[in-house]
Amino acid sequence: MGVSSQEPLTFDLKSLPPVFVLQSHLQSDDLHKWEDLIFKLGGSLTYNATEARVFIGKVSQKKRAAFDLRAKEVWTEESDLPEVKSPEESEGGEPPRKKARLEGSEHDVKPEQRRESSSSSTTLSEATVSDTQQPHLSWPDLTNHVLVLKLAWLESCIKQDHLVPYKPFVVYTAKIIAAPQDEKPPKALADTASYVKTSPSAVPTSSSRVSNVTSCTSILERAKAEAATLPSTPTSYPTRRRYGDHGQTSPQSTKHPPKLHRTTTSEFEDLAANPLPPLPDWATGPNAAYSCCRSTPMHSPNAAFIEQLSKIKEARLLTLDDIGVRAYSSSIASLSAYPHKIRHPEEITRLPACESKIATLWSEWFASAEDDTDRHIQNVIDLDNDADLQHLKLFWNIWGVGPETARKFYFERGWKDLDDVVEFGWASLTRVQQIGVKYYDEFIEKIPRAEVEVISDVITRHARLVLDIKPEQEGTNEDVDCVIVGGYRRGKDLCGDVDVVLSHRDENKTANLVVDIVRSLEGEGWITHTLTLNTTSTDRGQATLPYHGSHRGHGFDSLDKALCVWQDPNFEATEEGAKNPNIHRRVDIIISSWRTVGCAVLGWSGGTTFQRDIRQFVAKTRGLKFDSSGVRDRGNGLVLDLEAARPKRKDAINEIYKGKIPEGKDGDEWDDGDTWQDRERRLMDGLGFGYRDPRERCTG
């Protein structure tokens, strides 16, 4: 946060409307420093977000800004701000004085605000500055609007030592609205910050314009400075406070503070006697952040702790905190790959994507009991007991319902269970959602591996029927290949659904194959409902998805596929017209051309974080775009064939890799096999992160 200038700050923030500093992406110490800086520069700082009209923070996306405001019970809808009146339009033609107050009358100021000392008051009526004192900066009328600015605006003001235009730093502008009926704000899952107020002082003159503005650098010094301003006997109001600090207990103040790990002498002695295990090779170097560059087994020695973090991640998902979901996903992936049983928080902080917050949670979890089965995190217990999250999770588990729709069911429509959905909203559901409700209990049931294999065999049999594969062709290059992917391939004992990739070496036979297979399976009674049937790949000639063009929006997967409801039609009827008692399952059938079968298999085999990191890794380190339909060069948009059997000539390999042959490879080492396994292996080598068994891609 430091700024190198040696000169004191000469501007102030008295013209700033009531301001609230958003905590997202800020450590507690940094949050305190920015708040203290705003206060000491005369800004109308408030801890009550509903009073604020300007929000400053490390946010850059409208969606995140709106979420942070909702979490503080500030409900908004995006809107342009009112136009700022020019001096000529002001009353009497006089240059307007910048006022940070929201109302025009002194009577609008709260009584406790009027009791403030005139020398230190930060009420809005006194927060004015004339044009002769500092550069002109007009704020719009924010009576019914809010403005979210990047923290970079304040940094720029400090760097230039005057107020700079705020418009280039605007993240979100919105109109304040009433909270939707029965809606509750999303729960802020971030650790609560404990605030220590500081007394106002003169504008700083130190060498660092930010860090030295907050001269009390330690907790004890800050506490002493605050204590010096407090009266020796209780009074009806505090002697000093910031705007909006009315002596009321904030909702967060009743929460339990996070338990911090306290290092003891015995722990130091233990570390001396039993030093931490060496870091795995994958945890260091430029690729440490990418889970696709390391092996992650299905079963981790730290599975009990990871399960607790997974519950927090799920809660973040249901509260639409996309950034939190990504952060916890990365931490979980890193911990899952760690080969040692964690016994000290320092083991966590040295891992990629695992900072002090994760170490603090581990310390609390580890200290809560003697055995992993009994250990817990209080926040997770609170989440498990949260009635709102329980209802949201119920609706989220309906097939075809995402987190946003689940929130609408619960908060907007007031539904509490599946009976409410059926009774009050059945006609408003999509067909897919209706099927998801109808088979809710059955879809929740996991599928054993043996049953997955039976379903795959049935699909393979029907694919051979459709393609007219003769018995003597089975197992040869004339046969269809059926690969079970998803959780089954990663080694799960129980799967949520069945995912299979079908391919054939003759590209003419994979065009529209999904339609024929589904029709055949329906005819024999295996598929009871077809939820989705896409011929996306066939429609574009089974070519790799264009880097730019009209095919945007298909996401990571753009292959022909059918998402189906499956039921074994074979059962022993005890009476005429008996209903089939066999359970319904979810089955996905994906079709890939042989040319890119390795991409399809890779794209459907890894955990969610593993797949995300593949795309990021190849984009940032190789300039490539990867999806399940193929690989393209981001520079020129050309398709790269990394799956084909490699040529023996080294110069040809150089041509493929633009002169950068993967380490340990030369023209004599390439395998020229043509199975789907060979193609997937060559693809992973060619993408630069190397092959690893599917059972080592279990990032979650």
Give me the helices (H) in 208-302, please: 219-229, 265-273
Q: In the chain, how many domains are there?
A: 4
Domain holding 345: CATH number?
A: 1.10.150.110
In a domain, 257, yes or no: no
Residue 263 has pLDDT above 60, yes or no: no
Per residue in 554-580, pLDDT tens?
444 689 999 999 999 999 888 888 899
Per residue in 228-258, pLDDT tens?
444 433 333 233 333 333 333 333 333 444 4
The pLDDT, as a whole number, for residue 651 is 54
402 and 516, same domain (yes or no): no
CB 687 within 8 A of CB 622: yes
587 and 640, same domain (yes or no): yes
In a domain, 247, yes or no: no
Per residue in 311-365, pLDDT tens?
999 999 999 999 999 999 999 999 999 999 999 999 999 999 998 999 999 999 9
The Cα–Cα gap between 439 and 454 comes to 21
* Higher per-residue confidence, 589 vs 656: 589
Contacts of 237 (CB under 8 A, 6+ apart): 112, 115, 247
> What DSSP string runs through 192-212?
PPPP------PPP-SSSTTTT
Mean pLDDT value across residues 95-106: 36
Span of 69-73, 257-261, 679-683 with lowest mean pLDDT: 257-261
Binned at pLDDT 50, 70 and 90, residue 646 comes out as low
Q: What are phi and psi of 325, to 5 degrees?
A: -60, -45
3-class DSSP assignment, residue 300: coil
137 and 54, same domain (yes or no): yes
The pLDDT, as a whole number, for residue 574 is 81
Please name the helix (run of DSSP H) or strand (run of DSSP E) that holds residue 175, with its range, or none. strand 170-176
> Domain limits at 410?
387-444
670 and 554, same domain (yes or no): yes
619 and 639, same domain (yes or no): yes
212 and 273, same domain (yes or no): no
Last residue of a domain, one of 229, 251, 286: 229
Measured CA angle at 211 (ends 208, 214), to 5 deg = 120
Per residue in 109-140, pLDDT tens?
333 433 333 333 333 333 333 333 444 568 88
Listed residue (281, 293, 283) closest to 622, CA to CA: 293
Contacts of 117 (CB under 8 A, 6+ apart): 239, 240
The pLDDT, as a whole number, for residue 23 is 85
Is the alpha carbon torsion for 232, 236, 242, 245 positive or negative? positive
> What DSSP string runs through 547-607?
SSSTTTTS-S--SEEEEEEE-------SSTTPPP-SPPEEEEEEEEEGGGHHHHHHHTTS-
3-class DSSP assignment, residue 252: helix
The pLDDT, as a whole number, for residue 672 is 63
Mean pLDDT value across residues 435-457: 97
124 and 216, same domain (yes or no): yes
Tell me the β-bridge partners of 560. Answer: 591
Span of 213-227, 309-323, 630-644 with lowest mean pLDDT: 213-227
Binned at pLDDT 50, 70 and 90, residue 285 comes out as confident
Contacts of 330 (CB under 8 A, 6+ apart): 289, 291, 352, 353, 609
The pLDDT, as a whole number, for residue 273 is 63
CB 183 within 8 A of CB 411: yes
The Cα–Cα gap between 312 and 377 comes to 10
The pLDDT, as a whole number, for residue 676 is 95
643 and 564, same domain (yes or no): yes
139 and 219, same domain (yes or no): yes
Listed residue (423, 396, 417) closest to 407, CA to CA: 396
Measured CA angle at 129 (ends 124, 130), to 5 deg = 140
The pLDDT, as a whole number, for residue 29 is 75
- The pair of structure tokens assigned to 634 is 């981001």
In a domain, 365, yes or no: yes
The pLDDT, as a whole number, for residue 265 is 52
Last residue of a domain, one of 202, 229, 256: 229
630 and 508, same domain (yes or no): yes
Mean pLDDT of the chain: 79
* Higher per-residue confidence, 617 vs 259: 617
538 and 679, same domain (yes or no): yes
Last residue of a domain, one of 229, 249, 276: 229
Span of 159-163, 173-177, 321-325, 648-652 with lowest mean pLDDT: 648-652
Span of 15-24, 181-190, 284-293, 404-413 with lowest mean pLDDT: 181-190
CB 18 within 8 A of CB 112: no
* Higher per-residue confidence, 687 vs 230: 687
Q: Chain-centre distance of CA 164, in angstroms?
A: 33
For residue 153, count CB atoms less than 10 angstroms from its CB and return exposed for 0-12, middle for 13-18, buried for 19 or more. Answer: buried
Model confidence, pTM: 0.63
The pLDDT, as a whole number, for residue 106 is 36
What dihedral angle (degrees, nearest 10) is formed by the CA atoms of 3, 9, 11, 14? Answer: 90
Per residue in 512-557, pLDDT tens?
999 999 999 999 999 999 999 999 999 999 999 887 644 444 444 6
The Cα–Cα gap between 660 and 683 comes to 15
Count helices and strands (H / E) in the chain.
25, 16
Task: Say which amino acid occupies 333.
Answer: A
Mean pLDDT value across residues 457-480: 95
The pLDDT, as a whole number, for residue 269 is 54
676 and 536, same domain (yes or no): yes
Residue 189 has pLDDT above 70, yes or no: no
CB 321 within 8 A of CB 67: yes
Tell me the β-bridge partners of 502. Answer: 482, 591
Domain holding 430: CATH number?
A: 1.10.150.20
Mean pLDDT value across residues 621-633: 93
In a domain, 234, yes or no: no
In a domain, 239, yes or no: no
In a domain, 376, yes or no: yes
Mean pLDDT value across residues 415-441: 95
In a domain, 240, yes or no: no
